[in-house]
């Protein structure tokens, strides 16, 4: 074999080996984050349904990343994201006033999650933030369409677009509605959203669709019940979309 050809093959083997090693290291970091003993037992009990390790791996999350989490709820993902990005990374928990902000503030005050900061969600609050590697929103993109909140979802998508680094990722996890279901009425009544409508809306803001995970799909969900209905709560059909900012 010619020396140049051999050298090329050896270089490719080394490159693939390095990538595999880096992937394995990140996988171990994510597994350790999910196994964090500081997580509330109630969160751990939901891992079978929410599959945090698979979600973070799909997002490509890694140590050192800077993350903006939109509407973190009680902090289910905030803690595992915090532990995954580690001390060289940071998590900005974007929370409105009220119980959600209180929950996020309590996490940020815990020294075990010292890389978490609580921020507002409007343009003025997000302006001082550095460009981020990942924007994450789970089970709440539909909330942007609620009649009572009077938001412009496309304008919000465009705002998120400006906050991402070129090549940065947006992850949307949400409860699926029936195809063609009216977005606002369905959000109001069922807290669901049509996946196709979500994709079209986000792409209109400049994002490029970059993949979908099937890990949270449930074909047995009739898609007609409110997500808090005991018959389906915790078992809804959920879509997981990854979008990327070109660059």
What does the pLDDT profile of the chain (247 residues) look like in tens digits? Answer: 555 554 444 343 343 454 445 557 788 999 999 999 999 999 999 999 999 999 999 999 999 999 999 999 999 999 999 999 999 999 999 998 888 999 999 999 999 999 999 999 999 999 999 999 999 999 999 999 999 998 999 999 999 999 999 999 999 999 999 999 999 999 999 999 999 999 999 999 999 999 999 999 999 999 999 999 999 999 999 999 999 999 9
Residues spanned by the domain of 8: 3-244
C-alpha pair distances (Å), 148 with each of 48, 99, 132, 187, 195: 32, 18, 29, 11, 22
SS (H, E, C) the chain: CCHHHHHHHHHHHHHHHHHHHHHHHHHHHHHHHHCCCCCCHHHHCCHHHHCHHHHHHHHCCCCCCEEEEECCCCCHHHHHHHHHHCCCCEEEEECCCCHHHHHHHHHHHCHHHCCEEEECCCHHHHCCCCCEEEEEEECCHHHHHCHHHCCCHHHHHHHHHHHEEEEEEEEEEEEECCCCCCHHHHHHHHCCECHHHHHHHHHHCCCEEEEEECCCCCCCCCCCCCCCCCCCCCCCCEEEEEEECCC
Q: Which two tokens stand for residue 28?
A: 């171990």
Q: In Å, how far from its chain's centre is CA 18?
A: 27
C-alpha pair distances (Å), 120 with each of 31, 97, 157, 180: 30, 8, 16, 32
d(CA 83, CA 36): 8
d(CA 28, CA 32): 6
Give pTM, 2 decimals: 0.89
CATH number, residue 214: 3.40.50.150
Q: How many structural domains does the chain have?
A: 1
CB-based contact 138:153 (threshold 8 Å): no
* pLDDT score recorded for residue 6: 46
């Amino acid at each position: 074999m010619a020396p140049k050809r051999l050298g090329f093959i050896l270089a490719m083997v080394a490159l693939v080996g390095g990538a595999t090693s880096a992937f394995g290291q990140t996988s171990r970091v994510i597994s350790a984050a999910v196994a964090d003993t500081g997580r509330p037992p109630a969160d751990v009990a939901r891992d079978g349904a929410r599959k945090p390790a698979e979600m973070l791996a799909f997002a490509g999350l890694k140590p050192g990343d800077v993350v903006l989490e939109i509407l973190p709820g009680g902090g289910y993902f905030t803690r595992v994201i915090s532990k995954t990005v580690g001390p060289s990374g940071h998590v900005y928990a974007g929370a409105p006033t009220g119980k959600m902000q209180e929950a996020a503030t309590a996490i940020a005050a815990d020294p075990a999650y010292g890389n978490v900061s609580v921020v507002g969600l409007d343009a003025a609050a997000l302006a001082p933030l550095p460009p981020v590697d990942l924007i994450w929103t789970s089970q709440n993109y539909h909330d942007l369409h609620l009649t009572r909140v009077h938001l412009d979802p496309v304008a919000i998508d465009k705002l998120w677009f400006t906050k991402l680094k070129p090549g940065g990722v947006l992850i949307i996890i949400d409860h699926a509605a029936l195809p063609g279901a009216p977005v606002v009425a369905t959000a109001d009544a069922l807290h669901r959203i049509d996946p196709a409508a979500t994709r079209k809306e986000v792409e209109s803001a400049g994002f490029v669709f970059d993949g979908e995970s099937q890990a949270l799909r449930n074909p047995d969900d009739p898609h007609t019940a409110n997500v808090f209905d005991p018959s389906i709560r915790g078992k809804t059909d959920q879509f997981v979309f990854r979008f990327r900012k070109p660059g």
